[in-house]
A and B are shown apart, each in its own frame.
Chain A
Amino acid sequence: MESQSNNLFRFNASMLRLPKSAKLRAFGVYLSGALFAIGFWSLIDSAIYSKSINASDVHVTFIDWIPFLCSSFGMLIVNSIEKSNLISNSNNTDPFSSGNLNHAWAARIILFLGFSLLAGGLAGSFMVFILKYLMKHYTFPTLGMGVSNIVCNGCIMFSCIVLWLSQNIEDEYSYSLAL
């Protein structure tokens, strides 16, 4: 019951029955950092490629970086929100948390902003890929620069998901302290 009221979504980490362990949590944090680095370096790779051995006249410009900036900014917002702000419900009669209702709404709006920035980053990478590369019928070595843009934003979104899930892994020790 506690887990149902504590989480934002209908499907959450506790329904997936993730094992409660601190090591898994640490591994998730490392993994999300690794995924973020893969995304970042795929974009850097396309930029260096466009500068060094690019045979075509298409180059990576600032346009290609905008989706990356959007999604990394969204990831920063989503994962720096304190999760306990989202808990307080409208039917909560606890005197300590009823004053927090405005706070919870602000947290939800900022979280929504973060998620839409993330989704906008991924959609923007697809848009750049289609408008800049696919519509002009480029062949594959040039097309790879657009593909790496999609890979970059997909990896950042995946990294954000992993980080969110691993933050939701609560270990039993801290739970008993909270009680």
Chain B
Amino acid sequence: MNPLNKIIFLSAFLASGFLLILLSCALFNNYKPLWVIFIFLIAPLPNLIANSIENARDYNFLTFNDYNNQSNSQFNQSPLQEFCKFLTGLLIISGISLPLTFYHCGLIQFGSMLMSIIGGLIVYGDIIIFIWFFSNEEEENDEFNF
């Protein structure tokens, strides 16, 4: 599968996710679920920021803390990265439970809740798959990049 097809399919999914959330607002003329988009858009950010910070920092030079070496990037995680994972979990559940709360308090309808949750999960999953696709490709080309 060449990158162009990937991008086209992913953007179609992303558009459908946005469409679902916007429909959940517009059909019921109640724009409270629009916050779900915001939450799910910032949900992948903590991991990205933490990973780029830890990659830019040269831990191995004097401290011998071997955080995020290329060979064992899965194994040693710095406290910042773990905190950002915590934040990611928190944001995903927040995005799901915001419409649930609204529904429980009678502020939005049931269909609106269902559409906004599904749309938000589609948006989030789409961003994650996008990052995953293109990080796999970079690793193949990055052999000599120290």
Give me the interface of A with B, judged by CB distance under 8 Å.
Answer: 22-23, 25-26, 29-34, 36-38, 40-41, 44-45, 48-49, 52-53, 163, 167, 171, 173-174, 177
B54 close to A (CB within 8 Å): no
Residue of A23, A26, A36, A49 near B105 (CB, 8 A) is A49
B74 close to A (CB within 8 Å): yes
B10 close to A (CB within 8 Å): no
Q: How many residues of B contact A (CB 8 A)?
A: 27
> Once bound together, how far apart are the Cα atoms of A167 and B82, in whole Å?
9
Closest to A48 in B: B105
B97-A37 in contact (CB<8A): yes
B30 close to A (CB within 8 Å): no
Give me the interface of B with A, judged by CB distance under 8 Å.
Answer: 64, 66, 72, 74-77, 82, 85-94, 97-98, 100-102, 104-107
> Once bound together, how far apart are the Cα atoms of A41 and B90, in whole Å?
10
Known A34-B92, A37-B93: A173·B72 in contact at CB below 8 Å? yes
> Once bound together, how far apart are the Cα atoms of A90 and B102, in whole Å?
55
Contacts of A52 in B (CB 8 A): 105-107
Can you offer 27 A-B residue contacts whose CB atoms are under 8 A?
A: A23-B74, A25-B77, A29-B86, A30-B85, A30-B89, A33-B90, A34-B92, A34-B93, A36-B86, A37-B90, A37-B93, A37-B94, A38-B97, A40-B90, A41-B98, A41-B100, A44-B101, A45-B100, A48-B105, A49-B104, A52-B105, A52-B106, A53-B105, A53-B106, A173-B75, A174-B76, A177-B64
B105-A31 in contact (CB<8A): no
Contacts of B82 in A (CB 8 A): 29, 167
Contacts of B74 in A (CB 8 A): 22-23
B92 to A: closest C-beta gap in Å? 7
Contacts of A30 in B (CB 8 A): 85-86, 88-89
Contacts of B92 in A (CB 8 A): 34, 37
> Once bound together, how far apart are the Cα atoms of A41 and B66, in whole Å?
37
A177-B66 in contact (CB<8A): yes
> Once bound together, how far apart are the Cα atoms of A177 and B75, in whole Å?
12
Residue of A33, A36, A171 near B85 (CB, 8 A) is A33
Known A45-B104, A49-B105, A177-B66: A34·B90 in contact at CB below 8 Å? yes
B90 to A: closest C-beta gap in Å? 4
